[in-house]
Amino acid sequence: MKNINEIQMYQQRFESQKPQCGFGLLGICCRNCALGPCRISPFEEGAQLGVCGANADTITARNFLRMVAAGASAHSDHGRAVAETFIKVAKGEAPGYEIKDEYKLLKLAFEMGIKIDGLKKEEIALQVGEKCLAEFGKQEGSLILTKRAPLKRQKIWTALNIVPRGIDREIVEALHRTHMGTDQDYLNLMLHASRCALGDGWGGSMIATELQDIMFGTPVPVRGRVNFGVLKENCVNIIVHGHEPLLSEMIVLAAEDPQLVQMAKDKGAEEINIGGICCTANEILMRHGIPIIGNFLNQEMAITTGAVEIMAVDVQCIMQSLPLVASCFHTKIITTSEKAKITGAIHISFTEENAFEKAKEIVKMAIENFANRKKSDISIPEQEMDLVAGFSHETISYILGGMFRASYKPLNDNIINGRIRGVAGVVGCNNCKVVQDSVHLKLVKKLIENDVLVLQTGCSAIACAKEGLLDSIRGLDFCGKGLREVCEAVGIPPVIHMGSCVDNSRILVAATALVKEGGLGDDISDLPAAGAAPEWMSEKAISIGQYFVASGVFTIFGVTWPTLGSENLTRYLFNEIENQLGGKWAFESDGEKIAQLMIKHIDEKRKKLGIDRARERILFDMEMRRQL
């Protein structure tokens, strides 16, 4: 066994990477062909054109589009895996999985134009699943779920010819356009970036969210706990880490198996304790109240507690260093996806057909590994925090309107009367270049202090959960007066956890619901709303940001911005794109200033809607009524 002091953790690895190459940071390095690699000098001296003649605008635009394509691929391939499982569930070929939310299934079937008369739920599910899967390979027309967007938004997309035709097609076209000597106009490249990203937000991600809800249940508010303290010294601790709930759902199920629970007790453990990291954590928290250990940058630290028997991972945001860190402890790292293997980890192949069996195998391995713990290695931090999660779009409209008149009306009313200033989506990753979680917290606290309701997903939600902002009592202490009043009346925390990073599609749906409810304009770009990813690091974040911008949302990213090497492209993304799409990007790394920018934008939108001043309340007497 190695000594933990002999290996490097992410902080040291980051230090030894310094200085990081400025060309890469500015986005002006191109290695798309073997004429290069070419770099454009940001100074007067040095090369201003690549060998093929590409300038800084083209190179940064191509790099940006490739980031969007990779991010959209990650979400959409996740969506595809869910759709494939869904079809197998409908056919009865996936033991352990079931159709849990029939109501949502029927609603989706209706949206997709499927006749449901006289069909059993499995038959409907099969048709829905096949239709969803076909969305990926569709060649023409438009994605079905883009029809959910406000009509004005759809018209903007049609006018610019950026309605996504098929999810895969747009990604392939993005790679084609960025190939050497193809699309060399940065504005044209950026139009496709919007199209590709929309195929993610209103396509791949949305399909993932919808089908997961139907299969595993639409989240409803649930109490949970977060931070390292949820690891228990006298329990068998299993961590699930990654993104797709297909694996974690089964492990949760397997851990409840009475035989395995008994086996754990025989080995001297009190029970089997499951914790999550990253978006897998969000998925099982939302549906089962399973505790969260931490977000992205906590993954290595979780192992160093010495109390983790197994970390089972699937796809995305998994550090390759995990097996190395685990080699200093008794922890075993298990990869489960054929798409994601790590050298040094144990691979247990996980398919829909054998999912439950394999999950049981993993739990059994964890129980057997419990005896290998070294008492002296165990040090679990005590910190723990309560939270409330599980706010899907359906749940929010139920909370606000009840079963029979579910709606967003009370929210719209309170935005109009000014108790709630606006809505902000704060999402995204952790980044080692800033103190972990610090920018998220600074930003979110400032927002709720100024009566802005915050919707969250992903690692950002976990960051705020650790601080207690997602607790419906503790969170109120940070609120402004107006927001507090509404939160107390409705019984929600001021920071609303909407799920994992594919669940950003829920925010799109919620924004559309706000528009359709009336009173706040007729497009998403009219809403007093803004988005931010203050500690982003992954390509998925860029894709999410771009689909929000293309859906009309003002979106601010922190830490670093990948197009700064091109003045023209940066100006387009930060300004000119607003004339086309109604949304725009901004870059600001200070949490306080991000909040100021968002609030300023929200106030401008309120002014445009004419709801910036409290309206005088006039009591109508009989005479005035007659005149109406």
Interface positions with another protein (CB under 8 A): 18-26, 39, 41-43, 45-47
Which of 244, 193, 243 minimizes the C-alpha distance to 83? 244
Give the whole-angstrom CA distance, residue 72 versus residue 257. 37
Q: 161 to each of 155, 157, 158, 170, 234, how far by Cα in Å?
A: 10, 6, 5, 12, 59
Distance CA 523, CA 581 (A): 11
What are the φ/ψ torsions at residue 505 (nearest 5 degrees)? -65, -30
Least Cβ distance, residue 31 to another protein (angstroms)? 13
Q: What is the DSSP letter of 615?
A: P
Structure tokens at 443: 């930003």
How many angstroms separate the Cα of 428 from the Cα of each of 234, 283, 290? 34, 15, 21
Using CA atoms, how far apart are residues 531 and 529, in angstroms rounded to an integer? 7
Amino acid identity for residue 112 in this structure: M
The letter for the amino acid at 624 is M
Nearer to another protein, 42 or 96 (CB): 42
Judged by beta carbon, residue 19 or residue 258, the one nearer another protein is: 19
Instruction: Give whichever of 39 and 445 is closer to another protein, judged by the CB atom.
Output: 39
Q: How is 351-376 classified by DSSP, letter by letter? A: -TTTHHHHHHHHHHHHHHHGGG--GG
Minimum CB distance to another protein smaller for 24 or for 491: 24
SS3 619: coil
- 487, 476 Cβ separation under 8 angstroms: yes
Q: Which is nearer to another protein, 41 or 158 (CB)?
A: 41
Q: To which residue do tokens 């197994």 refer?
A: 310
Nearest approach, Cβ of residue 47 and another protein (Å): 7
- Residue 388 beta carbon to another protein: minimum distance, rounded to whole angstroms: 40
Give the type of residue at 391.
F
Q: How far apart are CA 170 and CA 158, in angstroms?
A: 15
Task: Please say which residue, 19 or 118, places its beta carbon nearer to another protein.
Answer: 19
Closest distance of CB 433 from another protein, Å: 11
CB 178 within 8 A of CB 65: yes
User: Smallest distance from the beta carbon of 592 to another protein, in angstroms?
Assistant: 20
Q: Answer for the pair 448, 486: CB distance below 8 angstroms, yes or no.
A: no
* The residue to which tokens 């992410």 are assigned: 10
Looking at the Cβ atoms of 63 and 505, the one nearer to another protein is: 63
Our CB check for another protein shows the closer of 31 and 608 to be 31
Which CB atom, from 40 or from 577, has the smaller least distance to another protein? 40
To another protein, the closest distance from the beta carbon of 435 in angstroms equals 15
Smallest distance from another protein to CB 13, Å:
15
Cβ-based burial of 376 (10 A; exposed 0-12, middle 13-18, buried ≥19): exposed
We find the least distance from the C-beta atom of residue 567 to another protein, in angstroms, to be 16
The DSSP line for 263-295 is HHHHTT-S-EEEEEEHHHHHHHHHHH---EEE-
- Minimum Å gap between C-beta 18 and another protein is 4
- Name the 3-class secondary structure at 252: helix
For another protein, the closer of residues 22 and 402 by Cβ is 22
Distance in Å, CB of 42 to another protein, minimum: 7
Q: Which residues on adjacent β-strands are paired with residue 497?
A: 456
Q: Which is nearer to another protein, 25 or 611 (CB)?
A: 25
Q: What is the smallest separation between the CB atom of 27 and another protein, expressed in angstroms? A: 12
Q: Write the burial class of residue 558 (CB in 10 Å: 0-12 exposed, 13-18 middle, 19+ buried).
A: buried
Whether the CB-CB separation of 438 and 591 falls below 8 Å is answered with yes
Distance separating alpha carbons of residues 297 and 154, to the nearest angstrom: 38
Cis peptide before 291 (omega within 30 of 0): no
Residue 38: CB minimum distance to another protein, A: 9
Q: Which is nearer to another protein, 216 or 587 (CB)?
A: 587
Residue number, 42 or 482, with CB nearest to another protein: 42
Terminal Cα distance for the chain, rounded: 84
